[in-house]
A and B are shown apart, each in its own frame.
Chain A
Amino acid sequence: MSAAACNILSARFGRADGHRLDVYEAEGGYRALRQVLGGMKPAEVVELVKGAGLRGRGGAGFPTGAKWSFVPSAAEDVYFFVNADESEPGTFKDRYLLDYDPHQTIEGAIISAYAVRAKLAFIYIRGEFGWLVDRVERAVTEAYSAGYLGRDILGSGYSLEMIVHKGAGAYICGEETGLINSVTGLKGQPSIKPPFPAVSGFLGRPTIVNNVETVAAVPWIVMHGAQAYRSYGTEKSPGTKLWSVSGPVRNPGVFEIPLGMPFADFFHGQLGGMQDGEEFKACIVGGSSVPVLTAAEIMACTLDYESLQEAGTMLGSGGMIIVPQRADMVELIKVLMHFYWDESCGQCTPCREGTGWLHRIASRLLKGEAVPADLELLEKVCNGMMGLTICPLADAAVMPMRSFLQRFRDEFAARIHETAAPEPVNRWARGE
């Protein structure tokens, strides 16, 4: 495909009226739903999405159709969740989708819910997105009035209720089992797997959780077919991807480009390169949890799942952070470690204790209180966290830490003062 921008997902981005039902309908909205309910069986929708090769856009990149097909065929009560908890640092694409074009996601959610035979769907929006909750609720109400939701949708016999649920603002509620627990009224903490949500999720019933961007692509795939979708992107990474780009580039923001586009083209094209006086040092390409790449490394990549994996990082959520030369990598990692320490749910010991430990060592580094052994200790702590927990939050803290240490070790080493020793703590002074 060409390096040109495309607008499968972003047709109404930046428009003042894109969120209105009449506008959406006038531009072809809800036709995909009519087509599905007019004659497609749920299994046919699953096959279609499988054929299109759509992969989960929340971060893991798991094939969407395959995920849907995990729902036991005899299941009675199935639930469908749209994950709009977008909380990966550096990621701000789902809020664009819901803000500018909520009906596209709603239509995609109805079709997806139909594909997995759900009778109840939730849109889980993170607590900080208060205005989005209002916008999406209004759109859901419009959809109900238009007969796209509720009993016997468009006379098809298929009924679906949709609830907009506002989270309380925890990173971990974006993990699908944490999200389900949060809606259930439990503490927002991931559950052990197995059982997987597709078999036993919300209220112990089969539950599918899909990211907003994943769901939003479904109407287009229905209208244009799997092959048309595959005409974008690469063989293993078909379709388009939203990238939310931050950092001192000329044009930061949200961009839709076909997967497989060379980073250099995207960087010099859409992003317009670095701002004057800034130098490109590093790139966190898929949200704060993925390993950082140096500018040279990322320049050699194409923006798709395989190429980025080969380069030692991940496509993730597409939350791209461009790091300029003047940025202090120790300060940056300290900020990131603070985030993971703050957001660890505290269930699994390696994550609960490890995130805090990493954060405290990083803080000492920043304050010039670290000792030489601390760099090795950081690596050791990472080894005690990676792959040992229920959910990937521990890994999400380890991957940036390890990659920062590996690629910018000199900046860390420069922070170490040979004579520095941590001050002893006088616990009695705290009145304990």
Chain B
Amino acid sequence: MAKLTIDDQVIEVPNGTRLFDACRLARGEDLPHFCYHPDLSVAGVCRLCQVEIEGLPKLTIACNTTVRDGMVVRTRSPRVQQAVKQVLEMHLINHPVDCPICDQAGECGLQDQYMDYGLYESEVAKSDKVLKRKAKIIGPHVILDQERCVLCSRCVRFCEEVTGTGELGIYNRGDRAEIDVAPGVELANNYSLNTVDICPVGALTSRDFRFQKRVWLLRSTPGICPGCATGCNVRLDHAGGRIYRLKPRRNDEVNGPWMCDGGRMTYKDVHADERLIQPLHRREGGLAELPWQQARELFYGLVKPGSVAFAVTDPRQSLEELVLFQRLAGRLVGEAQLAGGVAGEGDAPGDSLLLADDRRPNRRALAWLGLLELPPAALAAALAAARGVLLVYGGDPLAHPDIAAAARRLRIVYLGTHRGATAAAAELVVPLCAWAEKDALWVNRQGRVQRGQRAVAPPGLAREDWRVLVDILAHLGDDPGAADLPALRRVVAQRLQLADADALNLLPATGLVPEVPTVPLQSDAPETAANGGS
């Protein structure tokens, strides 16, 4: 341990600690900075985190200094404040100060530092300004405003050190230096929007978010990205019931501070025109809207023991939902007539960073529950042999033509979120919530249970899945005792045979990797009642 004095405060930190981090501890806030980023190499170029170290004649940048025992550091002395103010002014002299049309306004390092250290009148003659290129599209997701850039090189280092793709560079030198891509090169890696996140100013902005919303009007809700089995922790930024963007939320056990571009676009599905907003039932000429009360009556008329031939769910449903649906299916059909989804549906090659080949956010939960996905051919064969009602919860299995063909003679009841092939073929459609509209648990590929919170209300008359499922269970004479979410999660914990009944109600910030007794898959041991419930 090293004992040092920062701003007259004695603190003790482990040897080898970066002075920048020690200063954060002592001050309760970061030193001013643009180029330093804890997940990238040290560039030491913005020159803002200058501190005074006793015994050294010159000011020193804290980001490239390791603490020493007995160090005496000042971060707020007049000399430091003066230096920071002057360096900040250098950052601003060629900046266009076009905050009114800049998406970064409100979450901009330059604005923040100016409020803390600047507050002076501009002394730059207009003719002394260096003008650079504005609004240059450099990739499918990112737009570059060279004039706003402070050349902190974070984005360049990100593409060198994190993705290893190296699309960005600093071209030219002196005050002609500019971030850019080489001719013919696009910033098109899977993680390009992270450069927008780490850009401390408005030089790199998201083409998707650009001009959509002032950031101070956004509210943030923590969530879990549904884009793949990695389960990146995200922040959903929303206003007026609409999600405007997803930003990564740091979880060093899962995604660090990053997430992929595809994951960021998953919010669009939540607000898609294809969302189901009303219960629907088939009449002559197609699907017609009907009130919930009638839908409920129709549902119980169709879905009852003996009438249901087959039930299918999907690994995009949450852990609680899968537990409830499995229990529900147990009342209606045999274990062999329940599929956890269509095997391999939607999967695509991922990458070595975050994006998984497995594009389902909750497939690991299927394994825990012993729910088996069926390949399209197997599901088609099973459906072709069945007669009666096909109960589909989530997904869109009929998007597969073979399955659709096999299900032609079945009466389909669909509980879901989007108009797809399954909804179109259904006799009764029950509208439910998309991932961002519910408080739910997700099990990522590490077997980590993570909680996503409800960011926005569902559209129209769509209802929360677990309430609908509990309602159906109760109607079938099986009250799970899940009056609220904590109770529901105790039901889930019991189903997973977790030692602590409230383990899922008290998740650590980084999620929980519980010891779940291995449930033999049906394919491994067809005789055992793997999904018998608790």
Shortest beta-carbon distance from B405 to chain A in Å: 58
Report the separation of the CA atoms of residues A69 and B70 in the bound assembly, to the nearest whole angstrom: 27
Q: Which of B43, B91, B128, B134 contacts A357 (CB 8 A)?
A: B128
**What chain A residues lie within 8 Å of B133 (beta carbons)?**
432
Shortest beta-carbon distance from A368 to chain B in Å: 13
Number of interchain pairs (Cβ within 8 Å): 113
Report the separation of the CA atoms of residues A341 and B50 in the bound assembly, to the nearest whole angstrom: 24
A371, closest chain B residue (CB): B125
Say yes or no: is B64 at the interface (Cβ < 8 Å to chain A): yes
Among B42, B46, B61, B128, the one with the most A-chain Cβ atoms within 10 Å of its Cβ is B128
**What chain B residues lie within 8 Å of A383 (beta carbons)?**
82, 86
**What chain A residues lie within 8 Å of B87 (beta carbons)?**
349-350, 384, 388
Say yes or no: is A74 at the interface (Cβ < 8 Å to chain B): no
Asked if residues A422 and B125 are in contact (CB atoms below 8 Å), the reply is yes
Among B50, B123, B172, B174, the one with the most A-chain Cβ atoms within 10 Å of its Cβ is B174
Asked if residues A353 and B64 are in contact (CB atoms below 8 Å), the reply is no
Shortest beta-carbon distance from B86 to chain A in Å: 3
Say yes or no: is A207 at the interface (Cβ < 8 Å to chain B): no
Q: Which of A170, A353, A389 contacts B175 (CB 8 A)?
A: A353
**What chain B residues lie within 8 Å of A353 (beta carbons)?**
90-91, 93-94, 175
**What chain B residues lie within 8 Å of A345 (beta carbons)?**
173-174
Asked if residues A192 and B174 are in contact (CB atoms below 8 Å), the reply is no
Asked if residues B174 and A342 are in contact (CB atoms below 8 Å), the reply is yes
Asked if residues A388 and B127 are in contact (CB atoms below 8 Å), the reply is no
Q: Given A346-B151, A349-B150, A422-B127, verify A384-B91 contact (CB < 8 Å).
A: no
Report the separation of the CA atoms of residues A347 and B175 in the bound assembly, to the nearest whole angstrom: 9
- Binary B-proximity of A345-371 (CB < 8 A = 1, otherwise 0): 111111011111100110010000100
The count of residues in chain A whose C-beta lies closer than 8 Å to any C-beta of chain B is: 41
- Binary B-proximity of A168-203 (CB < 8 A = 1, otherwise 0): 001000000000000000010000101000000000
Q: Given A341-B175, A357-B124, A389-B47, verify A349-B90 contact (CB < 8 Å).
A: yes
**What chain B residues lie within 8 Å of A356 (beta carbons)?**
94, 130, 174-175
Asked if residues B86 and A355 are in contact (CB atoms below 8 Å), the reply is no
Say yes or no: is A326 at the interface (Cβ < 8 Å to chain B): no
Asked if residues A344 and B174 are in contact (CB atoms below 8 Å), the reply is yes
Asked if residues A348 and B47 are in contact (CB atoms below 8 Å), the reply is yes
Say yes or no: is A142 at the interface (Cβ < 8 Å to chain B): no
Say yes or no: is A14 at the interface (Cβ < 8 Å to chain B): no
Q: Which of A44-52, A316-324, A423-431 contacts B (4 or more CB under 8 A)?
A: A423-431
Say yes or no: is A15 at the interface (Cβ < 8 Å to chain B): no
Asked if residues A343 and B127 are in contact (CB atoms below 8 Å), the reply is no
Q: Which of A349, A364, A385, A432 contacts B127 (CB 8 A)?
A: A364
Asked if residues A355 and B131 are in contact (CB atoms below 8 Å), the reply is no
Asked if residues B45 and A390 are in contact (CB atoms below 8 Å), the reply is yes
Asked if residues B128 and A343 are in contact (CB atoms below 8 Å), the reply is no
Asked if residues B175 and A425 are in contact (CB atoms below 8 Å), the reply is no
Asked if residues B93 and A346 are in contact (CB atoms below 8 Å), the reply is no
A374, closest chain B residue (CB): B125
B93, closest chain A residue (CB): A353
Asked if residues B90 and A354 are in contact (CB atoms below 8 Å), the reply is yes
Say yes or no: is B521 at the interface (Cβ < 8 Å to chain A): no
Asked if residues B125 and A384 are in contact (CB atoms below 8 Å), the reply is no
The residues in B between 274 and 292 inclusive whose CB is less than 8 angstroms from any CB of A are none
A344, closest chain B residue (CB): B174
Say yes or no: is B129 at the interface (Cβ < 8 Å to chain A): yes
Q: Given A352-B151, A353-B91, A389-B47, verify A346-B126 contact (CB < 8 Å).
A: no
- Binary A-proximity of B46-68 (CB < 8 A = 1, otherwise 0): 11001000000011010010000
Shortest beta-carbon distance from A430 to chain B in Å: 7
Q: Which of B86, B130, B173 contacts A350 (CB 8 A)?
A: B86
**What chain A residues lie within 8 Å of B123 (beta carbons)?**
373, 377, 380
Say yes or no: is A387 at the interface (Cβ < 8 Å to chain B): yes
Say yes or no: is B108 at the interface (Cβ < 8 Å to chain A): no
**What chain B residues lie within 8 Å of A355 (beta carbons)?**
174-175
Shortest beta-carbon distance from B455 to chain A in Å: 38
**What chain B residues lie within 8 Å of A346 (beta carbons)?**
151, 170, 172-177
Asked if residues B44 and A384 are in contact (CB atoms below 8 Å), the reply is no
Report the separation of the CA atoms of residues A192 and B150 in the bound assembly, to the nearest whole angstrom: 18
**What chain B residues lie within 8 Å of A389 (beta carbons)?**
47
Say yes or no: is B89 at the interface (Cβ < 8 Å to chain A): yes
Shortest beta-carbon distance from B53 to chain A in Å: 13
Shortest beta-carbon distance from A212 to chain B in Å: 25
Q: Which of B58, B131, B175 contacts A352 (CB 8 A)?
A: B175
Shortest beta-carbon distance from A377 to chain B in Å: 6
Among B42, B47, B89, B133, the one with the most A-chain Cβ atoms within 10 Å of its Cβ is B47
Q: Which of A343, A360, A377 contacts B174 (CB 8 A)?
A: A343
Say yes or no: is B26 at the interface (Cβ < 8 Å to chain A): no
**What chain B residues lie within 8 Å of A170 (beta carbons)?**
173
- Binary A-proximity of B166-203 (CB < 8 A = 1, otherwise 0): 00001011111100000000000000000000000000
A393, closest chain B residue (CB): B174
- Binary A-proximity of B142-182 (CB < 8 A = 1, otherwise 0): 00000000110100000000000000001011111100000
Among A170, A354, A369, the one with the most B-chain Cβ atoms within 10 Å of its Cβ is A354
Asked if residues B173 and A422 are in contact (CB atoms below 8 Å), the reply is no
Say yes or no: is B83 at the interface (Cβ < 8 Å to chain A): yes
Q: Which of A357, A424, A427 contacts B131 (CB 8 A)?
A: A427
**What chain A residues lie within 8 Å of B93 (beta carbons)?**
353, 357
**What chain A residues lie within 8 Å of B91 (beta carbons)?**
349, 353
Report the separation of the CA atoms of residues A388 and B175 in the bound assembly, to the nearest whole angstrom: 17
A425, closest chain B residue (CB): B126
**What chain A residues lie within 8 Å of B125 (beta carbons)?**
360-361, 364, 422
**What chain A residues lie within 8 Å of B42 (beta carbons)?**
192
Q: Given A355-B175, A357-B93, verify A390-B127 contact (CB < 8 Å).
A: no
A355, closest chain B residue (CB): B174
Shortest beta-carbon distance from A184 to chain B in Å: 15
- Binary B-proximity of A389-421 (CB < 8 A = 1, otherwise 0): 110000000000000000000000000000000
Report the separation of the CA atoms of residues A427 and B64 in the bound assembly, to the nearest whole angstrom: 39
**What chain B residues lie within 8 Å of A342 (beta carbons)?**
174
**What chain A residues lie within 8 Å of B59 (beta carbons)?**
387-388
Asked if residues B89 and A384 are in contact (CB atoms below 8 Å), the reply is yes
Shortest beta-carbon distance from B44 to chain A in Å: 4
Q: Which of B58, B90, B94, B177 contacts A387 (CB 8 A)?
A: B58
A376, closest chain B residue (CB): B123
A187, closest chain B residue (CB): B170
Asked if residues B174 and A348 are in contact (CB atoms below 8 Å), the reply is no
Shortest beta-carbon distance from A425 to chain B in Å: 5
Report the separation of the CA atoms of residues A385 and B58 in the bound assembly, to the nearest whole angstrom: 12
Asked if residues A425 and B127 are in contact (CB atoms below 8 Å), the reply is yes
Shortest beta-carbon distance from A296 to chain B in Å: 30
Report the separation of the CA atoms of residues A298 and B410 in the bound assembly, to the nearest whole angstrom: 103
Shortest beta-carbon distance from A260 to chain B in Å: 27
**What chain B residues lie within 8 Å of A349 (beta carbons)?**
45-47, 87, 90-91, 150-151
Report the separation of the CA atoms of residues A387 and B58 in the bound assembly, to the nearest whole angstrom: 7
Report the separation of the CA atoms of residues A430 and B129 in the bound assembly, to the nearest whole angstrom: 14
Report the separation of the CA atoms of residues A383 and B44 in the bound assembly, to the nearest whole angstrom: 19
The residues in B between 66 and 99 inclusive whose CB is less than 8 angstroms from any CB of A are 82-83, 86-87, 89-91, 93-94
Asked if residues B151 and A422 are in contact (CB atoms below 8 Å), the reply is no
Report the separation of the CA atoms of residues A207 and B83 in the bound assembly, to the nearest whole angstrom: 32
Asked if residues B127 and A384 are in contact (CB atoms below 8 Å), the reply is no
Among B44, B131, B150, the one with the most A-chain Cβ atoms within 10 Å of its Cβ is B44
5 contacts between A and B (CB under 8 A): A346-B170, A346-B175, A347-B153, A425-B131, A430-B131
Report the 8 A-B pairs with minimum CB-CB distance, sorted nearest first.
A384-B86, A346-B177, A192-B44, A356-B175, A422-B127, A344-B174, A353-B90, A422-B125
Which B residues lie at the A interface, using CB under 8 A?
Answer: 42-47, 50, 58-59, 61, 64, 82-83, 86-87, 89-91, 93-94, 123-131, 133-134, 150-151, 153, 170, 172-177
Q: A361-B128, A387-B59 are in contact. List 8 more A-B contacts (CB 8 A).
A: A170-B173, A192-B64, A344-B175, A346-B172, A346-B174, A348-B47, A424-B126, A430-B131
